[in-house]
Amino acid sequence: KDLLLLEDVTRPILFEKLLKALALQLGSEVSFNELSRLTGANHQTVEKYITLLEKAFVIFRLPAFSRNVRNEIRKGKKFYFYDNGIRNAIINNFQLPSQRTDMGPLWENFLISERIKALSHMGLNVDRYFWRTTQQQEIDYIEESAQSLAAWEFKWSNEKKARIPKTFTRAYPDAACSVVNPDNFMDFL
């Protein structure tokens, strides 16, 4: 509430619509144009409100990773919430994991947000990304530092066999790649 007053947010209902749209698109690429259409706000207002949410540590942005390989998405972005509880409150969904249809994105959000917090606590600074090709091959999370490149694919369910796309491993042969699931996630965090 104070944030809305301090930053002169004159359209709180629009602000709430934007938050809900971001919460429902968790783990998916987000377009400011699409958010403008969904909320009825202009592009500049959407950008302003998103920047405000980032500054308030409600959400954070994950840009697309690319080293100009021809088929990689270069301009995409995803938004995640620092706190899954806030995200769940926005969409009013407090169901148990076994009853949810959004456990994949929720799991991804949990892992990335907790990893960011852990790295910050340790004083480690890395650049963070996701990776996707125009053929829809994807890596959920990438960290790049001056010394290394590491990629992770997140799977809530062990039923599906997770694989790192060969397109990625061929383009970045020196990258360390892993799959994170409920059995091994503490090693990631």
> Hey, where are the domains in the chain?
57-188
Outline where the chain has alpha helix (H): 2-6, 12-24, 32-39, 43-55, 84-91, 103-122, 166-171, 185-188
Percent of the chain with pLDDT over 90: 80
Q: Is 32 exposed, middle or buried (0-12, 13-18, 19+ CB in 10 A)?
A: middle
Q: What pLDDT digit, counting tens, does each position of 130-163 carry?
A: 999 989 999 999 999 998 999 999 999 877 778 8
What is this structure's pTM? 0.93
Q: What pLDDT digit, counting tens, does each position of 60-74 carry?
A: 999 999 887 677 777
Quick one: pLDDT band at residue 4, thresholds 50, 70, 90? low
- Per the CB < 8 A criterion, the answer to whether 129 and 142 are in contact is yes
